[in-house]
Amino acid sequence: MGKFEQTKRTAPKSAGGTAAERFLSINDNCSITNHRGGGNIFQTIKNKITTREAAEIYGLKVGRNGMACCPFHPDRNPSLKVDERFHCFGCGADGDVIDYVAKLFHLTNMEAARKLACDFGVYIPKNARRAIQTPAALQKQTNRRVSEKFERWRSWAINVMAMYVNSMEEWRERFAPAPGDTEWHSLFVESLSKLDQYNYYLDVLCSGTEAEQRSFFFEMKEVIRNLDKREQSWSRKSADGRSA
């Protein structure tokens, strides 16, 4: 018998008593078996925990008639009806236990479900945890991945442009024409025309606003990629002892 199957909920909802008594009777390692099974974490939580139980555990004082002062708006007279679900006759807040916890703690529905599972000791199989994700949670994950990918690109672009700026500073000194020269080295000319411009670009990527940096990405990503290839070519030539 696995460790989850060995753990018993000593005071289930049907056993009566206050929510606090039932809560304190739960094993605090978040490993109560979900005997009803099923692959939907949201439905599992709603089958196990009423909104009233959760509300009381998280500090709401509920009267015998199921009425309480609503925590979602200034409420002097009880206007929130709470049992399996909750509904406020004052501000209109409405939903199930997951909606309540998500709203109370400013969480996504998935985060609220996981909090309830842990706080009430409801075991959620791994396949169920992965099975359901709300649109808000999915969007949050997508935004995080996009931000991480952009930050990797930004660090790489800063490195490429810093090398290019250093190269142009070197060219300006190394290929500076002598008095009377009629032809200027192409790399010296390039440093004259682009050094200030790329110093500005470097400032944007290092300390510009997010909007400026993302605009730069869309406009300059191909330019930076080509610069990187060019810098690598120069590095190979330098290693071979040839002039750039």
Q: Distance of alpha carbon 81 from its chain centroid, rounded?
A: 33
Strands of the chain (E only): list them.
67-68, 80-82, 86-88, 94-95
Work out the pLDDT band at 95, boundaries 50, 70, 90: very high
67-68: strand order across its sheet: 67-68, 80-82, 86-88, 94-95
Work out the pLDDT band at 201, boundaries 50, 70, 90: very high
**What whole-number distance in Å separates Cα of residue 98 and Cα of residue 240?**
65
Quote the pLDDT of residue 174. 92
Evaluate whether the domain defined by 3-132 bears CATH number 3.90.580.10: yes
> What is the pLDDT of the chain when averaged over all its residues?
79
- Of 22-26, 97-101, 136-140, 213-217, give the lowest mean pLDDT range: 22-26
Work out the pLDDT band at 11, boundaries 50, 70, 90: very low
**What whole-number distance in Å separates Cα of residue 51 and Cα of residue 180?**
88
pTM of this prediction?
Answer: 0.44
How far, CA to CA in Å, does 227 sit from each of 158, 160, 162, 234? 12, 7, 11, 10
Nearest to 147 by CA among 100, 213, 95: 213
Amino acid letter, residue 45: I
Quote the pLDDT of residue 129. 52
Work out the pLDDT band at 235, boundaries 50, 70, 90: confident
Quote the pLDDT of residue 122. 86
Top-confidence residue, 21 or 58: 58
Work out the pLDDT band at 55, boundaries 50, 70, 90: very high
Decide the pairing of beta strands 67-68 and 94-95: unpaired
**What whole-number distance in Å separates Cα of residue 23 and Cα of residue 112?**
17
CATH 3.90.580.10 domain span(s) along the chain:
3-132
